[in-house]
């Protein structure tokens, strides 16, 4: 039974938050922590980051008038308290479930989620768009961007800062929770921060500025002289401030987990009359001892009761593989974009620190950096989630593929991701990477296949993509395609003899082969004959189509079905079938492609993304019957 709360349940909107006094607001913060911990431990999700911004979120909704004012969370994974306070408390127990509350901000979910996000460093650019649109339309609404210090490792934040106008109603909240991006500031700065938190500070400042500027003849000159002197004194005492150098009014730093201080600073920022950066220091995992002690471990939790039957997964096996290969080749380097643990590279970082590079949330830089390493004789491996690799698309084309540099992209989280949803679906990489001339694409379904793919890619003269899903290898695929063990080759495998060609042939690759095997059993139980061709690599398509055409050289099936866990347009099935039509006799063969028709499909309650896209075993079997 869910705990009964004194405030949660009756605080369902920003208007309800505004009615609370300081003591009640702090009590609400405590209840929010308890509820978020309870639901996240059960459903999985981002815990430590959400616990750190509780006071900040309550203060935002106390000071600003949402949804008229716009609040934009960077990444969006720290918006749980925001969701609860904006009418989603009753549904919050469905967090990250099919048909439930999403784990990120989502415009389709609530009017209070004014901008969707699942990737870092986008908030300030979006906030500038909102603030400028309000200015152009004469709307006096505020725009609030909430971003962590980690976001500043992404170039977009600095590009946006370079375009910040001083006269916008823009509040930038820098939530520093882990990495220091500024110098330690001494007693003078602390005193200044306290002064700025006083309610009369900004009013007095505006009156003084107005008075000085109105002095005949020398007003503007005197104002600029005083302003320059103030900045000179301040810089000499504790160093130049990056944000003020960019033209922003800077307030802070302050304790972001002290509700009273946060509310006071946000009120002051709102009354400043110009674009303001509020610098807060928060504690990741605040209020939950395990998360405070190890915020990295509690950044993202798996759902309660989720079990890995093998005790390992593709990410960890990739980490073992690259360490093994790097032991005998000191030119192998590993690159991550702030995802060392998530991609399995912690072991490599410890074993080969001089060859490990964490570039921060900067995928574009990571790709071109890898290209530079490669051009100068090293063997870079960039481990990255499929959805994050999308951010380096231009660099893959211009800096890697165009120059035919043998950079290896180890693409984790390939395919649908049920928990994180559309922002993290890895369903575009095959389509966009296969268009790059010379690119090799491997699609292992077992750990041994992953090792062989990585070893092959590192000895190749071309750029390569090795894509694998979240989770563990397919035991059912091993039983069907590797009965006699893995032979170490990356090839095209089949579970039938061409001499006894089945009526229906499924051509597939990657994790979805498991659904294809289940669909085959469904069809065979009803008297159909079915065979499966498993492609351990995808590109080059010319090579792949040659291998498959060889299987069909003497006899063709009645139906040929391509099944993939990616987008249809430009994808595996569409491209491979086009190549095959030039090499085999398609005249009497009925063919179809089963893939994601809608890349951003919505799930119903209890549905997986495979089911929502018509790619589960039952749907595959039914589609084959209907062809």
Interval 404-431: pLDDT, tens = 999 999 999 999 988 888 889 999 999 9
Helical spans, DSSP H, in 94-200: 123-137, 155-161, 187-197
Q: Residue holding tokens 């749980």?
A: 80
Where do we find the tokens 């992953």?
Answer: 450
Task: Report the candidate in 135, 104, 123, 130 with the shortest Cα–Cα distance to residue 175.
Answer: 123
Residue whose pair of structure tokens reads 């080059």 in the numeric block? 540
Cβ-count burial of 157 within 10 angstroms (0-12 exposed, 13-18 middle, 19+ buried)?
buried
Better-predicted residue by pLDDT, 176 or 350: 350
Listed in sequence order, the residues at least 6 apart from 184 whose beta carbon sits closer than 8 Å to its beta carbon are none
Which among 366, 379, 372, 368 is positioned nearest to 326, based on CA atoms? 379
Residue 314 near residue 451, CB atoms below 8 Å: no
**pLDDT of res. 242:** 81
Distance of CA 473 to the CA centre of its chain: 23
Structure tokens at 237: 């005492």
HEC assignment per residue over 472-486 = CCCHHHHHHHCCCCC
What pLDDT was estimated at residue 129?
93
Mapped onto helix, strand or coil, the DSSP state of residue 581 is coil
CA gap 16, 85 in Å, rounded? 9
Work out the end-to-end distance of the chain between its first and last CA atoms, rounded to an integer number of angstroms. 49
Decide which of 501 and 601 is more confident: 501
Helix H, strand E, coil C: the string for 23-57 is HHHHHHHHHHHHHHHHHHHHHCECCHHHHHCHHHH
| Cross-strand pairs, 602 | none
What would the two tokens of residue 417 be? 């991701």
Q: What domains sit in the chain, N to C, each tagged with a CATH number?
A: 14-182+241-293 (3.40.50.970), 314-467 (3.40.50.970), 490-626 (3.40.50.920)
CA dihedral 154, 160, 161, 163 (to 10 degrees): 160
Query: Given this model, what pLDDT does residue 247 score?
Result: 83
Rounded Cα gap, residues 562 and 535, in angstroms: 11
Query: What is the rounded CA–CA span in Å between residue 426 and residue 409?
Result: 14
Residues ≥6 apart with Cβ < 8 Å to 532: 480, 494, 495, 496, 505, 506, 507, 508, 513, 516, 517, 520
State yes or no: pLDDT of 257 exceeds 90.
yes
Instruction: Taking the CA atoms of 130, 134, 139 and 143 in sequence, report the sign of the dihedral they define.
Output: positive
**Which DSSP category does 301 fall into?**
B
Residue 51 has pLDDT above 50, yes or no: yes
The per-residue pLDDT for range 323-367, each reduced to its tens digit, is 999 999 999 999 999 999 999 999 999 999 999 999 999 999 999
pLDDT at 188: 33
The answer to whether residue 541 scores a pLDDT higher than 90 is yes
The per-residue pLDDT for 237 is 42
Tell me the C-alpha distance between 58 and 21, whole Å: 12
Residue of 197, 286, 355, 391 marked active site:
391
Which residue in the list 62, 88, 196, 284 is annotated as catalytic? 284
More confident residue, 180 or 412: 412
Strands (E), 328-469: 332-336, 356-358, 379-385, 408-412, 440-442, 464-467
Percent helix, percent strand, percent coil in the chain, to nearest 5: 45, 15, 40
Say what angle helices 447-458 and 314-327 make with each other, to 10 degrees.
40
The more confident residue out of 182 and 214 is 214
- pLDDT number for residue 185: 36
Rounded Cα gap, residues 374 and 368, in angstroms = 10
pLDDT value of position 119? 84
Name the token pair of 61: 């909704």
Residue 395: pLDDT over 80: yes
For residue 583, pLDDT over 80 is answered with: yes
How far apart CA 4 and CA 31 sit, in angstroms, is 10
| CA distance linking residue 326 with residue 304, whole number of Å | 36
Closest alpha carbon to 622 in 534, 531, 528: 528
Q: How far is CA 131 from CA 111, 112, 155, 390, 578, in A?
A: 17, 16, 20, 27, 48
Active site residue 558: no
Per-residue pLDDT averaged across 49-64, rounded?
94
The predicted model gives 387-402 an average pLDDT of 96
Query: Which of 591, 567, 566 is CA-nearest to residue 510?
Result: 566
Kindly indicate the confidence band of residue 4, based on its pLDDT and cuts at 50, 70 and 90: confident
List the one residue out of 247, 73, 82, 71 whose CA is nearest residue 143: 71
* Alpha-carbon span 595 to 614, nearest angstrom: 8
Question: What is the rounded CA–CA span in Å between residue 320 and residue 326?
Answer: 10
The whole-number pLDDT of residue 26 equals 94
Residue 306 pLDDT > 80, yes or no?
no
Q: Which of 137, 156, 171 is nearest to 252 (CA)?
A: 171
pLDDT digits (tens, 9 = 90+) for 477-510: 999 999 888 998 999 999 999 999 999 999 999 9
Predicted pLDDT at 227: 56
Average pLDDT score, the chain: 88
Angle at 414 between CA 157 and CA 428, to 5 degrees: 65
- pLDDT (0 to 100) of residue 404: 96
CA–CA separation, 62 and 71 (whole Å): 13
How sure is the predictor about 186, in pLDDT bands with cuts at 50, 70 and 90? very low
- Is 274 a residue of the active site? no
Q: Tell me 78's DSSP state.
A: T
d(CA 380, CA 377): 9
Token pair listed for 155: 């170039």
- Torsion 31-50-123-239 (CA) sign: positive
**Amino acid 192: pLDDT:** 38
Cα separation, 573 vs 563, in Å, equals 7
High-pLDDT (> 90) share of the chain, %:
67
Contact between 345 and 336 (Cβ < 8 Å): yes
Residue 562 has pLDDT above 90, yes or no: yes
- What is the rounded distance in angstroms from the CA atom of residue 307 to the CA atom of residue 300? 16
Place 580 in a pLDDT band, splitting at 50, 70 and 90: very high
**Is 391 noted as a catalytic residue in this protein?**
yes
Average pLDDT value for residue range 29-51:
90
Whole-structure pTM value: 0.84
The DSSP output letter for 265 is H
For 154, phi then psi, to 5°, come to -95, 135
* Among 176, 263, 363, 473, the one annotated catalytic: 363
CB atoms within 10 A of CB 204: 11
Question: 23 or 4: which carries more pLDDT confidence?
Answer: 23
High-pLDDT (> 70) share of the chain, %: 89
């Amino acid at each position: 039974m869910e705990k009964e709360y004194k405030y949660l349940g009756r605080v369902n909107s920003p208007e309800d938050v505004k009615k609370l006094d300081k003591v009640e607001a702090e009590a609400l913060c405590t209840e929010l922590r308890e509820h978020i911990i309870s639901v996240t431990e059960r459903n999985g999700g981002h815990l430590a980051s959400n616990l750190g911004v509780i006071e900040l979120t309550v203060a935002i909704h106390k000071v600003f008038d949402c949804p008229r004012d716009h609040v934009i969370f960077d990444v969006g994974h720290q918006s749980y308290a925001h969701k609860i306070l904006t009418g989603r408390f009753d549904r919050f127990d469905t967090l990250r479930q099919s048909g439930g509350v999403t784990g990120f901000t989502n415009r389709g979910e609530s009017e209070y989620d004014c901008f969707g996000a699942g990737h870092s460093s986008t908030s300030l650019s979006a906030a500038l768009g909102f603030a400028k649109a309000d200015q152009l339309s004469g709307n006096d609404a505020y725009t609030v961007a909430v971003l962590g210090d980690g976001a500043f490792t992404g170039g977009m934040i600095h590009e946006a800062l370079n375009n910040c106008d001083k006269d916008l109603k823009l509040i930038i909240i820098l939530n520093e929770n882990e990495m220091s991006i500024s110098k330690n500031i001494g007693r003078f700065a602390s005193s200044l921060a306290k002064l700025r938190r006083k309610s009369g500070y900004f009013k007095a400042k505006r009156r003084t500025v107005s008075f000085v500027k109105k002095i005949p003849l020398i007003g503007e000159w005197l104002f600029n002289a005083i302003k320059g002197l103030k900045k000179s004194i301040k810089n000499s005492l504790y160093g130049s401030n990056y944000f003020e150098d960019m033209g922003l009014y800077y307030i802070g730093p302050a304790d972001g987990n002290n509700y009273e201080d946060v509310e006071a600073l946000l009120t002051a920022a709102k009354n400043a009359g110009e674009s303001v950066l509020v610098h807060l220091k928060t504690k990741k995992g605040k209020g939950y001892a395990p998360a405070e002690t190890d915020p990295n471990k509690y950044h993202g939790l798996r759902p309660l009761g989720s079990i890995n039957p093998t005790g390992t997964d593709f990410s960890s096996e990739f980490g073992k593989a690259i360490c093994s290969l790097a032991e005998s080749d000191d030119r192998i380097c590993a690159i991550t974009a702030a995802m060392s643990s998530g991609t399995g590279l912690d072991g490599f970082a410890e074993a080969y620190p001089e060859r490990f590079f964490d570039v921060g949330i900067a995928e574009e830089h990571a790709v071109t950096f890898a290209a530079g390493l490669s051009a100068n004789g090293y063997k870079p491996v960039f481990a990255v989630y499929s959805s994050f690799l999308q951010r380096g698309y231009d660099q893959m084309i211009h800096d890697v593929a165009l120059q035919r540099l043998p950079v290896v992209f180890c693409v984790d989280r390939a395919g649908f991701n049920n928990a994180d949803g559309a922002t993290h679906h890895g369903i575009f990489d095959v389509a966009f990477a296969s268009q790059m001339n010379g690119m090799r694409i491997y699609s292992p379904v077992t750990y041994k296949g992953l090792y062989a793919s990585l070893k092959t890619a590192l000895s190749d003269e071309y750029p390569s993509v090795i894509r694998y899903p979240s989770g563990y290898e397919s035991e059912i695929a091993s039983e069907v395609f590797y009965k006699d063990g893995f032979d170490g080759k990356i090839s095209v495998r089949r579970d039938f003899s061409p001499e006894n060609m089945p009526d229906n042939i499924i051509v597939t690759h990657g994790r979805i082969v498991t659904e294809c095997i289940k669909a085959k059993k469904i069809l065979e139980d009803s008297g159909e004959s079915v065979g499966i061709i498993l492609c351990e690599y995808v590109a080059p398509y010319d090579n792949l189509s040659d291998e498959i055409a060889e299987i069909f050289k003497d006899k063709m099936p009645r139906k040929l079905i391509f099944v993939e866990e990616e987008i249809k347009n430009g994808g595996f099935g569409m491209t491979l079938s086009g190549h095959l039509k030039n090499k085999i006799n398609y005249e009497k063969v009925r063919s179809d492609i089963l893939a994601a028709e809608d890349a951003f499909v919505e799930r119903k309650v209890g549905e997986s993304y495979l089911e929502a896209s018509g790619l589960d075993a039952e749907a595959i079997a039914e589609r084959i019957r209907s062809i």
